[in-house]
Amino acid sequence: MKVDIEKANLEAASRMLRSKPVLVDISTAGEVVPGLEKKTVLHAGPPVSWQRMCGPMRGAVIGGLILEDLARNREEAEDLAASGDIIFEPCHHHSAVGPMAGVVTWSMPVWVMENKTFGNRAYCTLNEGLGKVLRYGAFSAEVIEKLKWMAGDLAPILGEALRRHGEIDLKSLISQALQMGDEGHNRNRAGTSLFIRELAPYLVMLDEPREKIARVFSFMHGNDHFFLNLSMPACKCTADAAAGIEGSSVIYTMARNGTDFGIRVSGLGERWFTAPATMVEGLYLPGFSAEDAAPDIGDSVITETAGIGGFAMAGAPAIVKFVGGSPRDALNFTQAMYEITVAENDTYRIPTLDFRGTPTAIDVIKVVETGILPAINTGIAHKEPGIGMVGAGLVKPPEKCFHDALEAFVEKYGE
Amino acid sequence: MIKVLVEKDSYYDSVFLMLIASEVKKVPGVEEAVVSMGTEINTELLREIGFGCPEIEEATPNDLIIAVEAEDDQTLEQAFEKARELFSRKKIQRESAEAYRPVSLDTALKMMPEANLIIVSVPGRYAFREARRALEGGLHVMLFSDNVSLKEEIELKRLAAEKGLLMMGPDCGTAVINGKPLCFANTVRRGGIGLVAASGTGLQEVTCCIDELGQGISQAIGTGGRDLRPEVGGTMMLMGIEALKGDPQTEVIVVISKPPAEAVARNVINRLEETGKPCVVHFIGLAGAGSSSQSTGRVLYAGNLEEAAGMAVALLQGRSYRPRTFTLAEAEVKRLVEQEVAGMSGRQKYLRGLFTGGTLADEALILFEREIGGVYSNIQTKPELLLPDPQRSKEHTIVDLGDDLFTQGRPHPMIDPTIRVDRLRKEMEDSEVAVLLLDCVLGYGSHPDPAGAMRDSIVRAKEKAKQRGGYLAVAASVTGTEADLQDLQEQREKLESAGCIVMPSNYQAAMLALRIIQKGGGS
Amino acid sequence: MSTKNMNVEKITELFSRDLIVINMGLEVFADTLKKEGGRVLPMDWRPPAGGNEKLSSLLKRLGR
């Protein structure tokens, strides 16, 4: 063999485990996201053209262009998007991640996460809340107004509180949240609570009108998924640390854009291996059914990539019911994930498995060999832009991505 | 009416699926039912028997196929309902199980790092890779799978020898290690006799005879049927003997195999002599009670499986072995033979031996060939005596129903007695049959009631012979122990109540059948 | 095959320990051991790469 694959994989896993994601700042995308320009629109998942984008992502793009004053309404936005003047890029190509449509534009506030061990950073917008929001493809006046409030009030206030508090150790918060019934992808209630608790003493001391601060608190409190936009960049800068290791078959990126599902492998550079996104199997909110569902979408699968989310499902019994399974199913899913990963996490642990570390660092070779695909818990978006979440469930990524990645890996490193 | 269902990504083992198929076939009105994984061989078979369709074309080895042909839609529904019920029973069983079932060997080893032995019974094409991984992981291996190439076997045994690990197989169906039965094995008393065998049912017969004599076994190591071929050189046989040499529990060593090539035989005998322990060798087909002139007196040669047990027990007890053919007194045997022959018609002159155990068939065949010759079989070494149509007996015939010829897509006759019952139905129409010779193998892996399964057919066969103005003799033996999960006593009684003469061993049953043929002989 | 110095210590050692078994394949063999009070870990074995020829040969090129 040309390389010691096992050794390379152990190195990749080790880098993930040694990573320490820390929240260092809030800023705006234009200021901190590398390579972002006024006419750049970042999106979730692997590269996709405007023509191929699904409904919710198109809606989010429209909203983004309107937000940046590049278009005044839907028609203008669509024309602009199709004109070739807009640069569409995956968040992943700019050290960023975004949930659902994952659209990031110049003026949007972003969390700044730093991997203290290796120095690399990751960025993510703040979570808008549920229902009619940009990430589900809504772009109405209310949506734009809320985004402007987030940039004008929410982010600066949180930013100031954060500066007074100092950096927040996200690894520690995630670790605690996992022991409180969260899994960091579909269930983030504990994480959100811990985060509010962390900043509360500093928020109340700010020199701002009480109503404004109260609104910030209410906003966070009313959104159980607020923490998702922190766990995601934490996982992103963790997974990125494992990228680019010669001979490693560890997967450092998994992402979807609503059209395609894509993965990237450490020893194969920045090449994407994509296949059509699959449909999520799950439970639907009252009034909705499988017919309403959009295909799998979002960068939030970065959580599974870093060893939480679906990989910590055994510790999140509430999720299990939501995804239509029994506690036994949740245990089995997690157990199966140990078959396809390189390491057991030394910080993120699962109480119901005797505090065993979560399965971390997915090995594409093992995925193909065992036929076990990574288990992903995810929300289901409505296929029409702007309606919102219609359910949640389990999704199996398309196996073609892994087969193609294996083939490329063998071409490069095999006998 | 035909219905085909393909369930993606649902792997089940072949025996489980075949048993489901045989249950579904029992639903009245079902003409054909196939339940199998979508491997190339299986999908081809399905196409050949008329189940070809696009779903089958696309099926992969990881997909489950249920294909049923029935006389009408309602029956089809019942058949599928039956299949669903059987599958869900298994699912419920598995869901209430405690631990996760690992998919990969790596995970199994992580879950159970203290594991010391693995039983591998996966389809032959995957077996080499898995067995090699197991050896590399430091596990002793029981390799039940067949269809492993000779080259692969040689490599596995080379690796096993290098690591000092057991590699029992490929095609090893029987072993008993530390008193624990592996695959097809009987529950035998623990004691001082250690065995190494290149034959599954041979090992079962000898261990059961030892148990019947009130003694027990320390270890029963299987080597797989090809171990003593010159290319393999008896590697596992020699390692087994060496291990028993160093085992304080083992006082007497027994070796069972088909006659090996000269050089291999010499190595085996030499190694036996070097153990310093009393040894018994049975090369199936080679006669030889008492010691051979080539041995030092410590290695005795047995003439048949039962004798191997008898000699070993005598050695263990420090007395000399008294060779005898029958347990019953000669006068009693004569009386039995006369009784059986009395009602026979002039047309009746042939033996039909229907066996589920390969070595038991072998033992009978060799005996009959030596004494009267001209015995047809599917396991004949003489090409002129190979059965032209294995499904049809000819003159004197002994069949090994466990042969691949009979077990395509069907479980082995030790598991599923219907193959033998089907054959019995054919034999009973033949007015020239004088004696039926049967084995009946008990123990783990075997059918829960092999005697019961063939009892009705035996009764009917005897009736038919009587209606034709003749008499059908049936000789049988039951290979088992008191402790086996099938009731040994009850199994014997079921056969006796059907009119069988049940002898204490396969050899004695064959000898009795021989005497009947010789006495009767179409007179 | 050299049979002079056969290393069978591990086998003799096995004889003095409890069998701790992994079952890869037909389930009936695991059931047997359980009935006899043996320790056995049944596997959920399936063909590597789902029996896919192309993927199997790719895996072989990685030495697996």
At B43-54, the pLDDT tens digits run: 888 888 888 899
Confidence at residue B287, expressed as pLDDT on a 0 to 100 scale = 64
**For residue B293, what pLDDT band results from cuts at 50, 70 and 90?**
very low
Question: Above pLDDT 90, what percent of chain B?
Answer: 78
B337 within 8 A of B330, measured Cβ to Cβ: no
ipTM of the complex: 0.94
User: What are residue A87's DSSP bridge partners?
Assistant: A40
**Band (B98; pLDDT cuts 50, 70, 90):** low
Section A300-328 average pLDDT: 81
Q: Where does the pLDDT of residue B21 fall: very low under 50, low under 70, confident under 90, or very high at 90 and above?
A: confident
- B54/chain A closest Cα distance in angstroms: 22
Band of pLDDT at residue A315, cut at 50, 70 and 90? confident
Contact present, A53 and A258 (Cβ < 8 Å) = yes
Task: Locate A375 and state its tokens.
Answer: 């288990």
Q: How far apart are CA A282 and CA A395, in angstroms?
A: 8
- Indicate if the pLDDT at residue A68 is higher than 80: yes
Which runs of E-coded beta strand occur in B371-514? 376-377, 397-400, 433-438, 473-477, 501-503
- Which of A377, A229, A388 lies closest to A294 in space, CA to CA? A388
- In angstroms, the CA B319 to CA C4 distance is 33
Residues with Cβ within 8 Å of B343's Cβ and at least 6 positions away in sequence, in order, are B466, B470, B471
B395: left (phi over 0), alpha (psi -120 to 50) or beta: left
> Average pLDDT, stretch A278-307?
89
Structure token digits, residue B137: 């992981």
Name the band, by pLDDT with cuts 50, 70 and 90, for residue A284.
Answer: confident
Mean pLDDT of A169-197: 95
Cα–Cα distance list, B94 to A259, A331, A332, A358, B88 (Å): 37, 14, 12, 24, 10
User: Which bin fits B468, alpha (ψ -120 to 50), beta or left (φ > 0)?
Assistant: alpha
pLDDT in tens, A257-270: 999 999 999 999 99
Q: Helices (H) and strands (E) in chain A — how many of each?
A: 15, 15
Residue C35 has pLDDT above 90, yes or no: no
In a mutational test of the A interface, the residue from B107, B109, B110, B136 whose CB has the highest number of chain A CBs within 10 Å is B107
**A contact residues 344-373, partner C, Cβ 8 Å cutoff:** 365, 368-371
| Among the listed residues A284, A290, A312, A279, the one whose alpha carbon sits nearest the alpha carbon of residue A186 | A312
- Cβ pair A368:C46 closer than 8 A: no
Is A361 exposed, middle or buried, given 0-12, 13-18 or 19+ CB atoms closer than 10 A? buried
Q: Which of A1, A9, A368 to mutate to test the interface with C (most CBs of C within 10 A)?
A: A368
Region of A258 please: left (phi>0), alpha (psi -120 to 50) or beta: left
Long-range pairs for B340-345 at CB < 8 Å and ≥24 separation?
A: B340/B435, B340/B471, B340/B473, B340/B501, B340/B516, B341/B473, B341/B516, B341/B519, B341/B520, B342/B471, B343/B466, B343/B470, B343/B471, B344/B434, B344/B470, B344/B471, B344/B473, B344/B520, B345/B431, B345/B468, B345/B469, B345/B470, B345/B471
Structure tokens at A112: 């700044």
* Phi (first) and psi of residue A164, to 5 degrees: -70, -35
Asked if B452 and B489 count as a contact pair (C-beta separation under 8 A), the reply is no
Q: Name which residue leads in pLDDT, B404 or B359.
A: B359
pLDDT higher than 50, residue B522: no
Is the CB of residue A274 less than 8 Å from the CB of residue A401? yes
Residue A88 CB-half CA count within 13 A = 27
Chains with 3 or more CB pairs under 8 A to chain A: B, C
Q: Report the alpha-carbon angle B199-B202-B207, nearest 5.
A: 120
The model's confidence at residue A136, banded by pLDDT at 50, 70 and 90, is very high
- Name the CATH architecture for the domain at B193-324: 3-Layer(aba) Sandwich (3.40)
Asked whether A245 and A8 are in contact (CB, 8 A), the reply is yes
A143-164: per-residue pLDDT in tens? 999 999 999 999 999 999 999 9
Tokens, residue A61 = 């793009």
**Which CA distances in Å does A85 have to A57, A76, B153, B383, C21?**
18, 13, 66, 83, 65
Q: Find chain B residues with C-beta within 8 A of C28's C-beta.
A: 15-16, 445
Domain of residue C19: give its range: 3-62
Query: For residue A321, what pLDDT is reported?
Result: 66
**Which tokens hold the place of B362?**
């072998």
Q: Is B9 on the interface with A (CB under 8 A)?
A: yes
The model's confidence at residue A325, banded by pLDDT at 50, 70 and 90, is: low
Decide the pairing of beta strands B217-222 and B501-503.
unpaired
Spans of all domains in chain A: 243-413
Amino acid at B250: T
Q: Is the pLDDT of residue A176 over 80?
A: yes
Average pLDDT, chain A: 94
Give the 3-state secondary structure percentages of chain C, helix then strand then coil, rounded to 5.
Answer: 45, 15, 40
Element (H, E) at B294: none
Tell me how far apart the alpha carbons of residues A266 and A147 are, in angstroms, rounded to a whole number: 35
CA-to-CA distance for A388 and A358, rounded, in angstroms?
Answer: 31
Please indicate whether, in this complex, the C-beta atoms of C64 and A406 are within 8 angstroms of each other: no
The β-bridge partners of A121 are A114
Query: What letters, b where the CB count within 10 A reaches 16 and e where it falls short, cover B108-144?
Result: bbebbeebbbbbbbbbebbbbbbbbbbbebebbbbbb
Which residues of B fall within a CB distance of 8 Å from A371? 9, 62, 103
Backbone angles phi, psi at A130, to 5 degrees: -105, 170
Taking the C-alpha atoms of residue A56 and residue A369, their distance in angstroms, rounded to an integer, is 35
Task: Mutate one of C4, C9, C10, C22 to test the B interface: name it (highest B CB count within 10 A).
Answer: C22
User: Which position has the token pair 């004695």?
Assistant: B508
Is the Cβ of B104 closer than 8 Å to some Cβ of chain A? yes
Mean pLDDT of chain B: 91
CATH entry, B330-519, from 3.90.1150.10, 3.40.50.261, 3.40.50.1100, 2.60.40.10: 3.40.50.261
CB B138 within 8 A of CB B163: yes
Residue C58 has pLDDT above 60, yes or no: yes
Q: Which of A162-171, B11-20, B470-479 has the lowest mean pLDDT?
A: B11-20
Total domains present in chain C: 1
Q: Do B243 and C27 touch (CB under 8 A)?
A: no
If phi over 0 gives left and psi between -120 and 50 gives alpha, with beta otherwise, what is residue A405? alpha
Q: Topology of domain A243-413, per CATH?
A: v583 fold (3.90.1700)
DSSP string, A296-337: PEESTTHHHHTT-GGGGGGG-HHHHHHTT--HHHHHHHHHHH
Q: Nearest chain B residue to C59 by CA: give it.
A: B129
Residues in chain A within 8 Å Cβ distance of B113: none
The full DSSP string for B161-183 is HHHT--EE-SS--EEEETTEEEE
Give the separation between CA B107 and CA A141, rounded to whole angstroms.
Answer: 54
Contacts of A139 (CB under 8 A, 6+ apart): A59, A60, A62, A63, A66, A74, A77, A385, A386
Q: How far is residue A71's CA from residue A74's CA, in Å, rounded to a whole number?
A: 8
CA distance C42 to B486: 24
Interior/surface letters B44-69, b for 16+ CB within 10 angstroms, e for the rest: ebbeeeebbbeebeebbbbbbbbbbb
Q: Is C46 on the interface with A (CB under 8 A)?
A: yes
**What residues pair up with A359 in beta bridges, in sequence order?**
A344
pLDDT in tens, B443-490: 999 999 999 999 999 999 999 999 999 999 999 999 999 999 999 999
- The CA distance from B235 to B223, in Å, is 9
- Whether residue C62 and residue A371 make contact (CB cut-off 8 A), yes or no, is no
Q: What is the reported pLDDT for B294?
A: 47
Q: What was the pLDDT predicted at A289?
A: 84
Strands (E), A64-220: 87-90, 109-115, 121-125, 168-169
Per CATH, the homologous superfamily of domain B102-171 is NAD(P)-binding Rossmann-like Domain (3.40.50.720)
Quick one: fold of B2-97?
Alpha-Beta Plaits (3.30.70)
Averaged pLDDT, A128-144: 92
Subunits in contact with chain B (3 or more CB pairs closer than 8 Å): A, C
- Residues of A within 8 A of B110 (CB-CB) are 338
